[in-house]
């Protein structure tokens, strides 16, 4: 009994009914593309020209041809032509609506894709702006080419100044040393007796 109540409860779905005729489910993409092609053809000048030629031939044939050859007499108001045109119009309207619905679906999908693409572009631009800002902040502490050149130029000038000062100092030292120093030789001077007498006479 409990099992029967469970199976017959409201929370259990009923079994699907068996269909006498099989369900007709055509391919929606194939059927939609065919209807779009037909709707697109109906909006062309060729379709209007063909319909005009067909209706003119129908009217002329059923008005001028012999009675035995006529299939839609003018006395009854071309009933067959009226029925055919009304049938064509009754089928054309749903086909046009179906094509319009498919076009709306495509437009909706394209709009969603454009929105997603715009969001991705916005995220990319925001990321790039953040990266550029960080690079600018990082480049503040990096030595540029002009800064390195100026520093090298300053160092070169200092080196030239120090080298010139050392050369001048060495030259001054050499000059002062040559003035204060006296030449010393190891040669012994020899004096003759005549020279010694002359020196004694000069001393007297």
Q: Cβ(85)–Cβ(59) under 8 Å?
A: no
Residues 80 and 10: beta-carbon distance below 8 Å: no
Can you give the residue ranges of every domain in the chain? 26-113, 148-173
pTM score, two decimals?
0.45
pLDDT given at position 148 = 81
pLDDT at res. 150? 86
pLDDT-wise least confident of 39-48, 124-133, 152-161, 166-175 = 166-175
Helices 79-139 and 45-64 meet at what angle, rounded to 10? 180
Per residue in 137-193, pLDDT (tens digit) is 877 777 677 778 888 888 888 887 777 666 666 676 776 655 554 444 444 445 555
pLDDT of residue 35: 82
Q: Measured between alpha carbons, how far is residue 173 from residues 13, 161, 165, 183, 184 in Å?
A: 119, 19, 12, 18, 20
């Amino acid at each position: 009994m409990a099992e029967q109540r469970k199976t017959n409860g409201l929370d259990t779905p009923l079994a699907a009914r068996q269909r006498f005729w099989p369900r007709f489910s055509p391919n929606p993409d194939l059927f939609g593309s065919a209807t779009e092609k037909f709707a697109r053809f109906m909006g062309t000048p060729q379709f209007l020209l063909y319909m005009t030629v067909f209706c003119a031939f129908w009217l002329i044939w059923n008005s001028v041809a012999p009675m035995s050859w006529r299939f839609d007499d003018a006395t009854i108001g071309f009933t067959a032509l009226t029925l055919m045109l009304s049938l064509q119009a009754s089928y054309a309207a749903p086909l046009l609506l179906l094509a319009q619905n498919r076009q709306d679906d495509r437009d909706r999908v394209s709009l969603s894709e454009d929105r997603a693409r715009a969001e991705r572009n916005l995220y990319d631009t925001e990321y790039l702006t953040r990266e550029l800002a960080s690079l600018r902040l990082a480049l503040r502490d990096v030595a540029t080419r002009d800064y390195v050149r100026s520093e090298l130029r300053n160092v070169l000038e200092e080196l030239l100044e120090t080298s010139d000062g050392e050369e001048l100092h060495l030259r001054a030292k050499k000059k002062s040393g040559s003035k204060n120093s006296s030449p010393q030789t190891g040669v012994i001077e020899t004096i003759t007796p005549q020279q010694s007498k002359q020196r004694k006479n000069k001393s007297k």
